[in-house]
């Protein structure tokens, strides 16, 4: 009986406001939305809209660790590996829990669980999965790049760069910030010193080669991702293994372009 009485009172209030707005030509929509939210205790729920049409909205299924999670994508549960970063191990079947591993895992899980909007985006013209069948993606929580947040706080490092990814500058900027402030895994970081040597990195695509000279200890400037009709570029390989271009150069190397059929 009490609920029915409250409902009648609320209806009377809304009707009175509607008449007032009609007489004085006031926009009613905003008022009604705010009143409805307050009456239903939902005024603190944020409505987040995507900032890009290139992102895919997903639903969190399960947290795994700092750089991996399972999402519902197109109605199917799929494991996603966060592109371009690596966090300390916390659930590896063969490795011990590493320092900051649990911190990174909890930090990522809190971000994903508390987000109102979760989205993925992918690197154009690159393979969408790794050799384990995991989806490789940029992960966004309420329009913020999760990889960048992990790097800024020192719970991740830039790693597994096999191509010229679109967000590399953002990743390295965030990592350098954590290094400078000695945050997380960089608490005892000291800038390494190298001898004044230079090395040559040779990028090979089919029968064509392009050589880049790099100072010892520095990163190579990755050339544009090559294309091949009917194939998707998977990344650069060295000795038939994916070559991580986020590693400082310490010797002459030749890397080859690897392609997979579309």
Query: Could you tell me if 33 and 40 are in contact, meaning their C-beta atoms sit under 8 angstroms apart?
Result: no
81 counts as catalytic: yes
Catalytic residue among 56, 98, 106, 134: 134
Query: Radius of gyration over alpha carbons of the chain, in Å?
Result: 25
Query: Could you tell me if 219 and 245 are in contact, meaning their C-beta atoms sit under 8 angstroms apart?
Result: yes
Instruction: Identify the DSSP state of 131.
Output: T
Instruction: Identify the DSSP state of 118.
Output: E
Sign of CA dihedral 174, 177, 152, 117: negative
Nearest 5°: phi and psi at 245?
Answer: -80, 5
89 counts as catalytic: yes
**Angle at the Cα of 52 from the Cα atoms of 50 and 54, rounded to 5 degrees:** 120
Catalytic residue among 89, 119, 123, 148: 89
177 counts as catalytic: no
Catalytic residue among 81, 119, 123, 148: 81
Catalytic residues: 81, 89, 134
């Amino acid at each position: 009986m009490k609920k029915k009485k409250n409902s009648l009172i609320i209806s009377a209030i809304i009707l009175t406001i509607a008449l007032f707005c009609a007489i004085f030509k006031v926009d009613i929509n905003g008022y009604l939305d705010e009143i409805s939210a307050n009456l239903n205790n939902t005024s603190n729920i944020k409505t987040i809209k995507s900032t890009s049409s290139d992102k895919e909205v997903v639903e969190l299924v399960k947290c795994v660790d700092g750089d991996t999670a399972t999402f519902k994508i197109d109605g199917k549960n799929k494991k996603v590996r966060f592109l371009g970063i690596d966090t300390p191990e916390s659930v590896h079947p063969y490795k011990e829990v590493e320092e900051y591993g649990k911190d990174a895992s909890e930090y990522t899980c809190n971000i994903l669980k508390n987000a109102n909007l979760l989205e993925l985006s992918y690197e154009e013209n690159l393979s969408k999965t790794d050799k384990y069948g995991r989806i490789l993606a940029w992960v966004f929580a309420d329009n913020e790049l999760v990889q960048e947040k992990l790097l800024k706080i020192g719970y991740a490092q830039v790693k597994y760069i096999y191509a010229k990814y679109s967000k590399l500058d953002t990743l390295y900027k965030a990592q350098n910030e954590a290094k400078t402030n000695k945050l997380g895994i960089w608490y005892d970081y000291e800038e390494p010193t190298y001898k004044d040597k230079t090395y040559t990195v040779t990028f090979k695509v089919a029968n064509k080669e392009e050589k880049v000279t790099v100072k010892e200890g520095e990163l190579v400037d990755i050339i544009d991702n090559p294309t091949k009709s009917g194939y998707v570029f998977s990344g650069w390989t060295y000795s038939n293994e994916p070559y991580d271009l986020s590693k400082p150069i310490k010797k002459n190397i030749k890397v080859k372009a690897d392609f997979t059929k579309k």
